[in-house]
Chain A
Amino acid sequence: MKNKLSSFVVIIFLSFCFVVFYKGLNNPNTYSPKIKDKKNIPIFEAKDFNSNSYLNSEKIFEEDIFYIINIWASWCVPCRTEHPLLMGLSKNQSVKLIGLNYRDNLNNAKKFINKFGNPYSQIIIDEDGTLSVEFGAFGVPETFIIDKNKKIIKKIVGPINKEIVEEIKLIIK
């Protein structure tokens, strides 16, 4: 009886370990924080890409429409793949795209925009990456959808694709 109980306990323990490790194998080894609740956009001041003057967040998000914040850099290869999709999104009247240029060389960034087109209604500069941290980002490219109440309702880590664009279009409809 005692032996049976010990074997049962060992089997249960090993099964538990197996399930934990098996689940662990299926999990991606990169972490991406999820947005549980709608978060307010951070209050910040940032340098404008074109005029070099400082703008505050209230001024940037002053209109009563949806906004998309896209974190990009000229050195970021995936940013190039998503750029045509952003160009397409920029034609949508119910949303404004704000570009956040992440730790970039200004000349290279300008060349990038001249070469691939400018989908952004405004570009702000994040020289040291701290503004991206305020948004809860940890790399490039990342995209945030902001609703009319100025709350972040969706976060996309990595380049956007056609499915994501369709999803965005449904949200901003």
Chain B
Amino acid sequence: MKILKIFMILFLFISFPHLKSDEKNDEFKSKVLKNIRCLICQGQSVYDSESDFAFSIKLIVNRKINEGLKEEQIYEYLREKYGDWVIYDPGLNKNTYFLWLLPLLLFLFGGAIIYKKTITNKINKT
């Protein structure tokens, strides 16, 4: 009986790290799939979709993860097939400069207006 207990404890020790690594892998897979757009759905990621396209992409992503590809390499593979649109988080390139820089420009423009108003108010007060 004692031997059986020891055996059980050893078995659990061996099993849990394995489960943990699977959990980590699943988390990574979900993260990647949530960032891929389902091209035939309306506003859904591949992670959320049950479409045929999403099914195939899930298989491909799984395969690429098993091949040891990193997150960015998987996105690059899909970008090469479907263009930038397939990824929710667009990278910085000549087509997306405007998209990335517009909020910054608006922020600077707004800041400049506020700064100018504060200065004018201070001058008027004195």
The chain A residues found within 8 Å of chain B, CB to CB, are 29-31, 33-34, 103, 128-130, 132-136, 138-139
Question: A139 to B53, alpha carbons, bound, how many Å?
Answer: 7
B114 at interface by CB-CB < 8 Å = no
Q: Which residues of chain A are within 8 angstroms of B55 by Cβ–Cβ distance?
A: 128-129
Main secondary structure of the interface of A (DSSP, over half): loop
Taking beta carbons and an 8 Å cutoff, which residues of B are in contact with A? 39-40, 42, 52-53, 55-57, 59-60, 63, 81-83, 85-86
Complexed CA–CA distance, A137 and B34 (Å): 20
CB < 8 Å: which of A29, A103, A134, A138 contacts B42?
Answer: A29
A-B residue pair count with CB separations less than 8 angstroms: 40
B40 lies within 8 A of A139 (CB): yes
A30 partner residues in chain B, CB cutoff 8 A: 40
Which residues of B are found within 8 Å of A129, using beta-carbon distances? 52-53, 55-56, 59
Shortest distance between the CB of A79 and any CB in chain B (Å): 14
Q: Add 8 more A-B contacts to A33-B83, A138-B82, A139-B53 (CB < 8 A).
A: A30-B40, A31-B39, A33-B81, A130-B60, A132-B56, A136-B82, A138-B39, A139-B40
A138 touches B60 (CB 8 A): no
Cα–Cα, bound, A134→B53 (Å): 12
Q: How far is the CA of A33 from the CA of B53 in the complex (A)?
A: 14
Residues of A within 8 A of B59 (CB): 128-130
- Bound CA–CA A44/B68 (angstroms): 19
Contact check: which of B56, B81, B85 meets A31 at CB < 8 Å?
A: B85
How many Å lie between the Cα of A139 and that of B55 in the bound state? 12
A128: which B residues are within 8 A, CB to CB? Answer: 55-56, 59
The 10 residue pairs across chains A and B that have the minimum distance between CB atoms: A129-B56, A136-B81, A33-B83, A138-B53, A33-B82, A138-B39, A133-B56, A133-B60, A130-B56, A130-B59
Closest residue of A by beta carbon distance from B53: A138
Q: For the complex formed, measure the closest distance between the CB of B58 and the CB atoms of chain A, giving whole angstroms.
A: 10
